[in-house]
Amino acid sequence: MCECSKVHLFEVEFKLDGMIVVPTHKNCGFALDEKQSDKFQKELVKSWGFEAEEE
């Protein structure tokens, strides 16, 4: 599990593990924790030009 204090979107690689996407930090090679993954998946969606839907 990645424990880096600062992770930037451009350092995150979205790897496919079966049917799920696992955001992985390129710098350390570890998967991000749930909180970080959630944040980066939202940022990734934003970078595609879509706003994440807030519920």
CB of 22 within 8 A of CB of 33?
A: no
Alpha-carbon radius of gyration of the chain: 11
Coil/strand/helix, residue 32: coil
- Residue numbers 5-44 binding Zn ion by CB under 5 A: 25, 28
Beta bridge partners of 20: 17
- Minimum CB separation of residue 10 from Zn ion in Å reads 13
Number of residues that bind Zn ion (CB under 5 A): 4
Looking at beta carbons only, is 26 or 46 nearer to Zn ion? 26
Task: List contacts with Zn ion (CB under 5 A).
Answer: 2, 4, 25, 28
